[in-house]
Amino acid sequence: MSIRRSILTRRSTAAVAFAVGLVLTVAGCGGGGGGDEPDKAAKSSVPPDKGEGKGTDSQESADDQVLAEAKDDGVTLVITSANRDGGGFVTVSGKVTNTSGGLWTGGQWRGDEQELQKNGGSVAGASLVDGVGKKRYLVLRDTSGRCLCTKFEGGLDSGQTVDWFAQFPAPPEATNKVTFQVGSMPPAPIELSEGE
C-alpha cells in the first residue's frame, strides 16, 4: 500500500511541477505588444503560439492546420495540435468560438465528477478515447483537483474566440489516433504527433 501511495505522490508531484513550469512559461512569454496595456488574450492559460513574433505568414500557417472541428449549441471547437510531450503527457490545444447570441460560460464542459466542480467553466471534463486499446484518458489534475487545462474566466461573449489547451496522460507509443470528447460536442478524431 505504501509503494502505491509513493507512486501516486510522485505522479502528483510531477504533474504539479509540470503545471507550474507551464504557468511560468506562459507568464514569461505573455504580451508581445511591448506597451503597458494589459493583454486581452490573458483570459486563458495557453502555451504561446510557435509562430509568435515571426510575421504573419508563419502564424497563419500554424492557425490553418486544423486537425478536427466540432460544433454544438452555438459553440465551435477547433483542435489545431495534439502533441506528445516529454514525461508521458499529451497536450491538445486549439480555439473555441462562441457563435451563439449570448454569453457562453463553458460550465457544461467541466465534467460531472464532484472533484471537477471546483474548476468552473473549463475543459476539465474532456477526455481522449483510445478505441483500439479500449481506454479513456481524463484531463490531468493537480493535487487540489484543478485541471491542467484552460478555464474560461468570465465566459465568452457572442462572437469571441479564445485559445484553449488540455493535458492528458499519453496513450502507449503505438497509439497515434484517438478521439477527443468534451461535453455534448460530437467526438472529434485526431492524430497524435511527437512534440518538439
Phi, psi of 73 (to 5 degrees): 50, 45
User: Across the 196 residues of the chain, what is the mean pLDDT of every consecutive 10-residue run?
Assistant: 50 54 46 43 39 40 76 91 91 94 84 70 90 92 86 88 94 93 92 81
Which residues lie closer than 8 Å to 6 by C-beta, 6 or more apart? none
At 127 the three-state DSSP class reads strand
pLDDT of amino acid 26? 44
Please give the Cα distance from 91 to 196 (Å, whole number): 12
SS3 content of the chain, % helix, strand, coil (to 5): 25, 30, 45
Grid cell at residue 130: 483510445
pLDDT of amino acid 18? 55
pLDDT of amino acid 146? 85
pLDDT of amino acid 60? 45
Please give the Cα distance from 123 to 107 (Å, whole number): 9
Q: From 133, 132, 164, 159, select the one nearest 149 (Cα to Cα).
A: 164
Please give the Cα distance from 170 to 128 (Å, whole number): 9
Q: Would you say 165 and 93 are in contact if contact means Cβ atoms under 8 Å apart?
A: yes
- Check the CA dihedral 68-71-74-75 and report its sign: negative
pLDDT of amino acid 17? 54
Count H helices and E strands in the chain, helices first.
2, 9
At 14 the three-state DSSP class reads helix
